Amino acid sequence: MNIMDILQGQLSDDVIGQLSQEIGAEPQQTASAANGIFSSLLGGLANNISQEGGLQSLAGALDRDHDGSILDDLAGMVGGMMTGNAQGRNTDGMGILGHILGDQQESTAQQVSESSGLSMGQVMKLLPVLAPILMNVLGKAKSQGGLDLGSLAGIILGGAQQQQQGGGGMGDLLGSVLGSVLGGGQQQPQQGGGLDLGGLLGGIFGRR
């Protein structure tokens, strides 16, 4: 079990249906777009943690703002965000996107649009709703799994690398983002020091 398995597992049929209704899309397209968005966000995080101080900054944000509590009622969180009623850093999707993707949000939406068949506008509505899910999954894994920085980096880099290798319409985007992180073994954080990260994630989130 890896981080993408966990992320996909958070999106039940009910949540996908709710998102689809809100953006006016078919559930299959919404699910495809969600996978592309999660892949892109993982790629963005992988790039960020390769920068000096990036991993420590991410760990601090997880400890401070993302405890995983929104995962207990994702349907409620999605409904609140879609109606503008969600508040707090835990669900600040636009703020999270600014940190992870920076000025690459529109180009990311374009890539996801092309791979999923959704319009740019529909993808842009999904991005700030899905970004807090990724951060809270990582936050829950860090707090409940007692992850050190190396293990946290291993989860992110492992998931991003698998998406790059797996393609799924996002290979070019991830390839450009991850080249400096995963290529040539340059300054790649230790991936858990032998810790079974897949087993740990499965234990925390349950095997679906």
In three state form, how does the secondary structure of the chain look?
CCHHHHHHHHCCHHHHHHHHHHHCCCHHHHHHHHHHHHHHHHHHHHHHHCCCCHHHHHHHHHHHHCCCHHHHHHHHHHHHHHCCCCCCHHHCHHHHHHHHCHHHHHHHHHHHHHHHCCCHHHHHHHHHHHHHHHHHHHHHHHHHHCCCHHHHHHHHHHHHHHHHHHCCCCHHHHHHHHHHHHHHHCCCCCCCCCCCHHHHHHHHHCCC
The predicted pLDDT at position 126 comes to 95
- This prediction has a pTM of 0.80
33-59 tens-digit pLDDT: 999 999 999 989 988 988 888 889 999
18 — pLDDT class (breaks 50, 70, 90): very high
Average pLDDT, the chain: 81
Tokens found for residue 47 = 């790039």
Asked if 140 and 90 count as a contact pair (C-beta separation under 8 A), the reply is: no
Which of these, 156, 164, 136, 207, lies nearest to 36 by C-alpha position? Answer: 164
Q: Is the pLDDT of residue 133 over 60?
A: yes
